[in-house]
């Protein structure tokens, strides 16, 4: 079993359950589903105010809030005697993953497409390290081929 695919399936099921339980509807008045949101993202370029834009914003807001919660779990005062609560930190990281996967699904990505894009972008990042990439020598986008 592909673990990343399994995570995507589990997250889609959880989101669909929430949509159903809360009767959350799209602009077509139908109960939302991750499959439908993914299809909308694959259709003609989604516009601001569309279901795609709304749910990208919703999941991004949730992801940012989870990242903030993670930050609150990490003591940064070097003079403090606080200890890291790795159990809480790990839970917050997994919460971030929940919303990251939701964002990917709304954008029309599945596990295999995320993997493919990751490999392409990872190569760009490796090439940047080899070429001495920095803000002063950046000329345009060197990752336009990643899509």
With residue 145 as reference, give the H or E element that holds it: none
Is 59 contained in some domain? yes
Coil, helix or strand for 139?
coil
Say if 136 falls within a structural domain.
Answer: no
Total structural domains in the chain? Answer: 1
73: in domain: yes
Contacts by residues 35-44 (CB-CB < 8 Å, ≥ 24 positions apart): 37/105, 37/106, 38/105, 38/106, 38/107, 38/108, 38/109, 38/110, 39/108, 41/106, 41/107, 41/108, 42/108
Q: Is residue 126 part of a domain?
A: no
Domain that holds residue 9: 3-108
> Cα–Cα distance between 96 and 144 in angstroms, integer?
27
Lowest mean pLDDT among 39-48, 51-60, 81-90: 39-48
The answer to the question of residue 141 being in a domain is: no
Assigned domain for 146 exists: no
Residue 125 within any structural domain of the chain: no
Compute the radius of gyration of the chain from its Cα atoms: 19
Q: What is the pLDDT of residue 125?
A: 87
Give residues with Cβ within 8 angstroms of 78, minimum separation 6. Answer: none
For 97-139, write each residue's pLDDT tens digit: 999 999 999 999 999 999 999 999 999 889 888 887 776 666 6
- Is residue 7 assigned to a domain? yes
The domain that holds 52 is classified in CATH as 1.10.287
pTM as predicted:
0.87
């Amino acid at each position: 079993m592909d673990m990343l695919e399994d995570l995507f399936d589990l997250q889609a099921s959880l989101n669909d359950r929430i949509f159903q339980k809360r009767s959350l509807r799209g602009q077509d008045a139908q109960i939302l589903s991750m499959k439908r949101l993914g299809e909308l993202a694959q259709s003609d370029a989604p516009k601001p105010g569309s279901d795609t834009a709304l749910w990208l914003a919703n999941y991004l807001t949730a992801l940012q809030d989870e990242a903030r919660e993670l930050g609150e779990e990490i003591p940064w005062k070097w003079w403090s005697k606080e200890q890291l609560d790795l159990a809480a930190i790990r839970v917050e990281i997994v919460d971030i993953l929940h919303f990251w996967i939701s964002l990917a699904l709304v954008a029309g990505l599945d596990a295999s497409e995320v993997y493919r894009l990751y490999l392409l972008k990872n190569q760009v990042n490796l090439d940047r390290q080899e070429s001495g990439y920095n803000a002063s020598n950046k000329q345009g986008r060197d990752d336009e081929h990643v899509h």
